[in-house]
Chain A
Amino acid sequence: MLLEKEIVIKTDKLTKRFGDFTAVSEISFEVYKGEIFGFLGANGAGKTTAMKMLIGISIPTSGNATIAGFDIYIQTEQIKKSIGYMSQKFSLYEDLTIKENIQLFGGIYGLSDKEIKSKSEELINKLGLNNEADKLVASLPLGWKQKLAFSIAIFHQPKIVFLDEPTGGVDPITRRQFWDMIYEAAHNGITVFVTTHYMDEAEYCDRVSIMVDGVIQALDSPANLKSKYNAESMDEVFLMLARGAKRGE
């Protein structure tokens, strides 16, 4: 059944070294179209470094990878058109209004004025921000900012969206709403590649990989992982694997 699925991310022994330090060591995995792929690991395990190679802002030391069919060494510009990214740090412009942020990123990704206009109205309606649309982003509560950042990351309908700890510091209700948005995006055919520290979120993923010290220790669906490690929850699975880590924060 897996064979029928379209592969959108494929890595082969992807490695990143900083001097003597191997941040990411020969990771190989595949991600399929429309799935929610959880990329787990303790702090310092190499998640963010790996993700930066995939989104084309860090050049790998060795190994290969293709994103949406494009090579990460030579086709970075094509990759950038087909992905969306939401970083750990909140990265919309706080001194621009919600509307201006949407227009800016819509424009950067080459949407026409008409598309930007209709889609941003639709988006603002959906998020229930009609009254805030002309207010500065700085005035929004964190939960809203994160939802907005996610919406903007998928505004141009990318093939894949990369989310780096998108729900850090967000309350449980907003987190739940956030995951509803992720499901909806996946349902619309956008592949979601997400890193998180919350193990309940790991349960929502179709498949998860667990990284320990720069290496992928486990990769399967949450149900399979739990039965394999004879664990009640993903939390237990994670603790079992991550306890062996040598690298701290």
Chain B
Amino acid sequence: MAETSRLGEGVRAYRLIAGMWIRSAMTYRTSFVVTMCANLVMTGLDFVGILLMFSQVDSLGGWGLPEIAFLYGLSVTAFGIADLVLGSMDVLGSRIRDGSFDILLVRPAPVLAQIGADRFAVRRLGRITQGTVVLGWALTSVEVDWSAAKVLLVPLMVVSSAAIFCAVFVAGAAFQIFAQDASEVQNAFTYGGTTLLQYPPTVFGKDFVRGVTFVLPLAFVNWVPASYVLGRPYPLELPGWAAFTPPLVAVACAALAGLAWRAGLGSYRSTGS
């Protein structure tokens, strides 16, 4: 009961603060339009990189372009959602350094919601748009025997992966409380993670895949269910039902990230004077 009201409070504070950032961005209208367009182009060029590869080859690790587009669309859409929701958490380090984090701490709203909504930027819709377009194209191009389970699995994968990316952002923020200018480490997991998931697991070494799947369960929520949908063998010897576990993995990750955040906040020591 108390937990749900806290969640409600958090969502409310998040909406209020995100709204303020949108209004702030609107005061520089030209810049807003330019950055929005630039973001669409930038994320678009990301997929062009894959198209370039396929201009030279017909398959990568035994997977064709539509199948890789499927992986890509899932990974980028999920990451895009997480990036829109919590993508500015890397400013936490500079907020701690300049002392403005203290101001968030004396407001009557959960700090995580406030820092999550910090620098909220509509231009981040660019990545989601691009991911969805690629995913849409992939869904019409892959040859799949669609069943109810497979249809259900697609949105489930997107939501679970988004939640896992969010958990990574939160854990990264907790880490920044200890090491303020090491915010780039989380790029390895966020941007690195989404890049990794765009390619089929057959490309990577077996030990590498095992590591990513169990140590950092990113791969789990994309590779395993995607293999199930596409009717391909799982990247590791796993039982058939493993494809349906992403929500559980997501919840576990969120819980761990929550604990990390609590630990981080508890050891916060503020700056100097």
**B is bound to A:** no
The residues of A with any CB-CB pair to B shorter than 8 Å are none
